Each structure stands twice: as C-alpha cells, then as structure tokens.
C-alpha cells in the first residue's frame, strides 16, 4: 500500500417513496442498508480502515457511513460537510489537498456524478478492467480504492493515484 490511500464510496441506494421530500433528506432504502452493511463487513475484512471520513451531510450519505462503520467496527474522525453534497470532482480535489499529512487513509462518501468523476480522474491507469468498469457505471454503494503515487495530499491531481480495486455491492453477494 502507498503512504496515502483514498477510498471513494458512493452512498448506498436511497428511498424515493416519499413524494415531495427534499433530495438532501432522502433516507436509505432497505436494499441500501443491506449493501452498506455488506460493504462495511468487506472493508473490515480487507483492512480498509480510514483515519478520516469526509462525508456529505445528506441523510443518505450519513446513513451509509453509520451502517458501514457499525458493520466494520470503525471509529475514525468523521467530518459531515454540506459542501460535499453534490460536490463536483474539482471540489473534492481541493478538499483532499488540505488533508492533514498525518492522515494515511481518507474516505470520501457522497454522490454521483462528482465523487465517481473524482475517482476516475484520480486513477493513473485508464486501461485496467476495474477502471473501465468504474467508468462505465459507479453504482450506489460502489467503492474505489486508490493509492496515491505522489508523496503528499497537497500534490493530488488528475492521474496521481493507482486504482487498487473497484468493488460494488453485487460483488459481495
């Protein structure tokens, strides 16, 4: 593993059943809760434990993290940030560049298209099967694991990380 690792997790499947509900306030669907728990179990088994979690403040992102953390028994520092709600990839690059150098593993949790665009842009090898699969579709509950190829968070830019793997809830069944 590189000195710095970024995990990009798209929130799990949300519930659309309440008409008129604000997008920001949508909860997870049952399928999303199950996928988040499975991802948490996977992350624990694979040693994918963040030092810092930067989470969109939207309800479905917060619920995703809470379920992942419970399933994995993780208790890292968590920042819930309204600025990450529907954030563009450029915003995520800017935020990542400000991460404390002591953080070894950073987890971003949020929404398409910004978070999956961030993961795609960050990856240096765009020919790998995982990158092509990620570029084709980054479904809810999907997780990209990227190892930085630069020595500091402040140097993060396009193509400065190696995509270690891309995992989606269907892979965990």
pTM above 0.95, yes or no: yes
According to CATH, the topology of domain 5-172 is: Rossmann fold (3.40.50)
Nearest to 143 by CA among 119, 117, 123: 119
Report the pLDDT value the prediction gives residue 1, as an integer from 0 to 100: 57
Omega before 72 cis (within 30°)?
A: no
User: Which band of pLDDT confidence, cut at 50, 70 and 90, is reported for residue 173?
Assistant: confident
> What is the C-alpha separation between 146 and 114, in angstroms, rounded?
16
What is the pLDDT at residue 20? Answer: 85
- Which residues is 8 bridged to in the sheet? 108, 144
Q: Is the pLDDT of residue 19 over 90?
A: no
């Amino acid at each position: 593993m590189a000195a710095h690792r970024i995990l990009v997790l798209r929130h799990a499947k949300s519930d659309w059943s309440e008409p008129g509900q604000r997008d920001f306030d949508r909860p997870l669907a049952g399928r999303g809760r199950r996928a988040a728990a499975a991802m948490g179990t996977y992350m624990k088994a694979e040693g994918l434990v963040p030092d810092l979690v930067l989470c969109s403040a939207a309800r479905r992102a917060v619920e995703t993290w809470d379920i992942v953390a419970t399933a994995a028994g993780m208790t890292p520092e968590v920042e819930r940030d309204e600025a990450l709600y529907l954030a563009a990839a450029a915003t995520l690059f800017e935020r990542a560049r400000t991460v404390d150098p002591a953080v070894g593993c950073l987890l971003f949790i949020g929404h398409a298209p910004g978070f999956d665009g961030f993961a795609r842009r960050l990856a240096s090898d765009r020919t790998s099967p995982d990158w092509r699969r990620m570029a084709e579709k980054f479904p809810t509950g999907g997780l990209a694991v990227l190892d930085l190829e630069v020595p500091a968070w402040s140097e993060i830019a396009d193509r400065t990380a190696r995509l270690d793997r891309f995992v989606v809830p269907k892979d965990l069944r």
